[in-house]
Structure 1
Amino acid sequence: MQGLIIKNVKVYAPEPSGARDIFILGGKVVKVAEAGTAENFNSLPFSVKTINGGGLIAVPGIVDGHVHFNGAGGEGGPLYRTPPTGLSELTGAGITTAVGLLGTDGFTRSLRDLLMKARSLSAEGITAKIYTGAYQLPGPCLTTDAASDIILVEEVVGLKVAFSDHRSSHASLQTLREAVSQARAGGILAGKKGPVMVHIGEGPDRLKPLAEAVSGTDIPVAQLIPTHLNRSARVLGEALEWAKMGGNVDLSAGVSARYGFSEAVDPPGAVQYLLDGGAPAERITMSSDGNGVMTLAGPATGEARPLISPVRALYEEFAGMIRAGIPVETAVRIVSTNPADRIGLSAKGRIREGMDGDVLLIREDGLDLDTVVARGKIMVRDGHAVQKGLFEK
């Protein structure tokens, strides 16, 4: 067994904690102490690796609650199917926990394959979970239904559906209510949260089906996590009202003008808009939508042109929030603490004794990602991947 000590590092846990020494052993944070006390661990009966945290800040590993790590796409034909994501692509973006899901293609892509990809990533060193379901409702499942998937399959955290999108099933409100209730019941029986991740498209109804689904029922508004809510100013405006109702708001880092989504509100600007409008900070999350694809017709030729959401966008927009003046602790909550809480990953999202040893070390000057530690193991050092997936080059 090898321990890891990060000495004299400025910690945001997410709350600012000042200079601290962090001791990680057996994949867990076992001590967060005042800087200068790490020498007390040198006499322990196992080897200890030490990192000098001078000039660095430590934050919890990013929890990406919406990433197509087994590939997505397919609109426009087989040529536009995106490949699976490698381990170092995730860790290189500071992602130590990833929640995978199916997208438009719930027909030729399978939950079984998604589950095995999650298990592969977990075996390689990060934490990977999945959502059951897809755009379709009722959607695919691993067992007999979504509730049973959540109860019986450890990696399944909740249900994925889609609304206000021409590619969705255009399910009735009653069907949506039944699906959300089933996910909630499955979560209760499994000791999980059972959230429902809802893809929101640019259809004219936008968030209206969700508001109507919870209205007049006992369904908690926080059971739903609508995503892609920065896809346009129109959707973001409705997201603000949804957040004021106590609803969750998930922004997509990869859906921004820099990646070709011309109507999107840039993620740091979307966060500031929500905060200025009175949205509770704890209700805001951001995910990558990594490997998600939207296929558009090119303006000149009319040929299909894919827009791909890169996994790396999540770290870029995390740093972008800080550069835009959003406090570090708020940015950390949005990409780590809040998604962990919403999904129900109680050992994630905080640097605290007893939590998983998922830590990012960031260069205070420039905000470049220096080191990534996942479950106590160094995955990235000096900005370069030192651990790669079994079949990565």
Structure 2
Amino acid sequence: MKLFKQAEVYSPQYLGTKDVLIAGTKILKIADELTSFYRDDIEVIDCQGKILCPGFVDSLVHITGGGGEGGYSTRTPEMSIEEAIVGGVTTLVGVLGTDSITRSLENLLAKSYALEEQGLNVYCHTGSYHLPAVNITGSVTKDIMLIDKFIGVGEVAIADHRGSQLTVNELAKVASEARVGGMLANKSGIVSIHVGDSEEGVSLIQQVAEETDIPVTQFYPTHMNRSAELLEQGISLAKAGGYIDFTTSTNEQILASGEVSAAHAMAIALDKGVPVSQITMSSDGNASLPLFDDAGKLVDLQVGKVASLHESVVEAILEHNVSIAEAIASVTQSPADILNLKKGRIVEGVDADLNVLRADSFAVEDVYSKGAELMKAGKVVITSHF
């Protein structure tokens, strides 16, 4: 049992100064004072002047690596658990991208089980950029229904020269398969959509929503801060009831080419009246960050960082005047609700996934996943074989 004393609690909604008691893997009690619970076997954590918030939920991470657009030597490395912990990420969703040949779903599942054995909460999507979707059981529906870790399909690429150049019917069909699998297994059945830099943007999603019975909420488009024009499309999609996800991994070259930082994009969307429940940020960690010339030739490539998720939360608060509650919600409650995960909140009875942040800089000091301490005073405390 652990007792967090006098923390400024963001659930992510601000609850005020509270004591929070956890027992085993769960949050047991939240109250103004819990002094009656003092016992010799309870660890007391002094949180005066600190923020206690849910562990971050990263909805898009290439945990087995990605890339390869410039040949075998440009395949990016797998994510290490330390990369997630230092950024306060306790729950993540692993995906495949361009390469679903040397990066297999079997390897994705094995990596997710390994990370979970080490202390994280890990889910996955079946499929990849391309259709027909790669799968394990013979169909997207069966994968989502029968394999516990699969909660959706993707990231399916649209508006991108690396994608399958999908038609409305093709996208609607895979969305229907994922939706049915999700309904039968009580999962989200979400379709994670990689949106490239072609001018059509999210028009294919809009067409499916308009021309079929598939609701716009079945789609979860990411990279919506790729350009100011795509951001505007995303805001329109959100006002029609859809979701928009902003990618936090970037670099100066990509920003100079027209990308809007995820933190700034969130501030703009909030200012335009989009509720934070429809806005999320994700890291795209361990993906390649490729830059192509006008002929489609790769000219530069860097690697996405999971820790950029936390960095963007801080940027949103300190540089773009996003409220602390909304910034935290975009990486906790919002993605958890969209993905139908019982995560992302500080509420009695839920898993004790918690971050202790400095109140002045919002730096991550301590990280707990299902009640187990993964980082203390800024230092990762779990042991890893590699």
Deviations along 1:195-245, one digit per CA (max 9) or x if unpaired, are 110000001211111100111322111110000000111111100100000
Indicate if the aligned counterparts of 2:255 and 2:261 stay in contact, CA closer than 8 A: no
For 2:25, the equivalent position in structure 1 comes to 27
Q: Which residue is equivalent to 2:16? A: 18
State the secondary structure of the residue aligned to 2:69. Answer: coil
Q: Deviations over 1:163-221 (max 9, x none)?
A: 11000011221011010011000000001111110000001211111100111322111
CA pair 122-258 structure 1, distance change in 2 beyond 3 A: farther
| Matched residue, 2:357 | 362
User: Structure 2 counterpart of 1:279, which letter?
Assistant: V
Deviation (angstroms), 1:388 = 3.9
Secondary structure of 2:332's counterpart equals helix
The CA deviation at 1:32 is: 1.0
Unaligned residue ranges in structure 2 (runs of 5+): none
- What is the DSSP-based 3-state SS (H/G/I as helix, E as strand, rest coil) of the residue aligned with 1:357? coil
- The equivalent position to 1:72 in structure 2, one of 54, 66, 75, is 66
Q: How does 1:1-393 map to 2 (within 5 A)?
A: 3-34=1-32, 36-37=33-34, 39-43=35-39, 47-160=41-154, 161-255=156-250, 257=252, 262-296=257-291, 304-323=299-318, 324-346=320-342, 348-391=343-386
Are the aligned partners of 2:153 and 2:190 in contact in 1 as well (CA < 8 Å)? yes
Give the letter aligned to residue 199 of structure 2. P
- In 2, Cα distance between equivalents of 1:202 and 1:125: 36
Query: 1:83 & 1:49 partners in 2: Cα distance?
Result: 38
1:303 shift after superposition: 7.7
Residue 90 to residue 204, structure 1, CA distance change in 2 (3 Å): same
CA apart distance, 1:139 = 1.6
Cα offset for 1:260? 5.7
Counterpart code for 1:170: Q
- Kept in 2: contact 1:71–1:83 (CA 8 A): yes
Deviations, residues 69-116 of structure 1 (Å, cap 9, x unaligned):
111111101111111111111011000001000011012210000001
Measured in 2, the distance between the counterparts of 1:83 and 1:254 equals: 15
Is 1:371–1:382's contact at 8 Å kept on the other side of the alignment? yes
Q: Is the contact made by 1:287 and 1:335 (CA closer than 8 Å) also made in structure 2?
A: yes
Contact 1:75 1:294 in 2 (8 A): no
Q: Is the 8 A contact 2:353 2:368 kept in 1?
A: yes
Q: CA deviation at 1:361?
A: 0.6
Is the 2:4–2:20 contact (alpha carbons within 8 Å) kept by the matching residues of 1? yes
Distance apart, 1:43 and its partner CA: 3.7
Render the CA deviation track for 1:7-62: whole Å, top value 9, x for unaligned: 1101000111111111111211111111x32x322348xx3222100111011110
Give, in angstroms, the shift of residue 280 of structure 1.
2.2
Contact 1:56–1:361, Cα closer than 8 Å, also in 2: yes
Cα distance in 2 for partners of 1:103, 1:213 equals 22
Partners in 2 of 1:222 and 1:366 — Cα distance?
A: 35
Q: Tell me the secondary structure at the aligned position of residue 27 of structure 2.
A: strand
Residue identity in the other structure for 2:261: D
* C-alpha distance in 2 between matches for 1:297 and 1:259: 10
Alignment partners' CA distance in 2, 1:70 and 1:56: 34
Count residues in correspondence.
382
User: Given residue 23 of structure 1, which amino acid in structure 2 is its aligned partner?
Assistant: L
Opposite residue 371 of structure 1, the aligned amino acid is: D
User: CA shift at 1:292, angstroms?
Assistant: 1.2
Q: Could you tell me whether the CA contact under 8 Å between 1:256 and 1:262 is conserved in 2?
A: no
- Which residue identity lines up with residue 254 of structure 1 in the other structure? S
| Residue identity opposite 1:49 in structure 2 | E
**Counterpart Cα distance in 2 of 1:262 and 1:255:** 11
Alpha-carbon distance in structure 2 between the residues aligned to 1:389 and 1:262: 39
TM-score, length basis structure 1? 0.94
TM-score, normalised by the number of residues in structure 2 = 0.95
Q: Which shifted more, 156-165 or 289-298? A: 289-298
Partners of 2:172 and 2:368 in 1: CA distance: 40
Does the aligned pair in 2 maintain the 1:253–1:286 contact within 8 Å?
yes
Q: Equivalent residue of 2:331, what SS?
A: helix
SS in 1 for 2:166: coil
Distance in 1 of aligned mates of 2:354 and 2:17: 15
Distance in 2 (alpha carbons) for counterparts of 1:266 and 1:212: 28
DSSP-derived class of the 1:335 partner: coil
* Contact 2:69-2:298 at 8 Å conserved across structures: no
CA distance in 1, matches of 2:212, 2:347: 37
Point out the more displaced range, 362-371 or 303-312. Answer: 303-312
